[in-house]
Structure 1
């Protein structure tokens, strides 16, 4: 099962050139870029580790790609994503988020549905053994 989180998650992985094009779009919108990584891609894991600080004053996509490459070198078997934040309202709102690195072997996840009282259905996701 391929992990699908964020924008573009149902498309094939973006090339570095395509990532640069997305970063340039974000910078034209004056959005800050943040790089995050995790070993736990569970859909409810919203707290990924930050790689460095968000890049609020950056004007060039090359700086973002330098951080992405450094994060890939340090964590090659992790999920790495870019988040673009709009801070024009005085707080950061995620405007775009997409995965830029995946481990060579993705974990297998199994979803189980359990029916309860009054036709309530509960779902759980566990790592396959």
Structure 2
């Protein structure tokens, strides 16, 4: 199962050149980039771990790509994404976010159904990866 979160998530993985072009676009818009990673990509897990600090003053995609590569080296079996944040007054929100690294195998999620009072059905989603301890969810540690 392929995790589909963020911009471009239904497309094939972007190459580093394509990632650089998207970062260039974000920087031209005046958006600040940041890099985040996780081994728990549950759809409601919106707070991934930050890789370093947001790059508010950076205006060159090479610097962002350097951080992406460093994060990939440290966490090769994690999901890694680039965020583009617009700090313009009245917006101050994420304008673009896309995955730039994913584990070789993505086990997906299971749908849990329980019956409640009055025969009502309750559903929840659990990631198969969460059966393993954090840091060991996708093969080799890291």
Q: Hey, what's the Cα distance between the residues in 1 that align with 2:13 and 2:55?
A: 23
Secondary structure at the counterpart of residue 45 of structure 1 = coil
Q: 1:79 is matched with which residue?
A: 79
Q: 2:124 is matched with which residue?
A: 124
Where does structure 1 lack aligned partners over 5 or more consecutive residues? none
1:28 matched to 2:28? The reply is yes
Q: Hey, what's the Cα distance between the residues in 1 that align with 2:115 and 2:25?
A: 45
Superimposed CA distance per residue, residues 82-122 of structure 1 (whole angstroms, 9 cap, x where no aligned partner): 11000011773100000000011112312245576789654
Q: CA deviation at 1:25?
A: 0.3
Secondary structure at the counterpart of residue 67 of structure 1 = helix
Secondary structure at the counterpart of residue 94 of structure 1 = strand
Q: 1:69 is matched with which residue?
A: 69
Q: Hey, what's the Cα distance between the residues in 1 that align with 2:68 and 2:114?
A: 40
Q: 1:115 to 1:60 in 2, by over 3 A?
A: same
Q: 1:122 to 1:10 in 2, by over 3 A?
A: farther
Q: With structure 1 as the length reference, what TM-score do the two structures score?
A: 0.89
Q: With structure 2 as the length reference, what TM-score do the two structures score?
A: 0.82
Where does structure 2 lack aligned partners over 5 or more consecutive residues? 132-142
Q: Is residue 8–residue 98 contact of structure 2 (8 Å, CA) maintained in 1?
A: yes
Aligned residues: 129
Q: 2:102 is matched with which residue?
A: 102
Q: Is residue 113–residue 122 contact of structure 2 (8 Å, CA) maintained in 1?
A: yes
Q: Is residue 35–residue 68 contact of structure 2 (8 Å, CA) maintained in 1?
A: yes
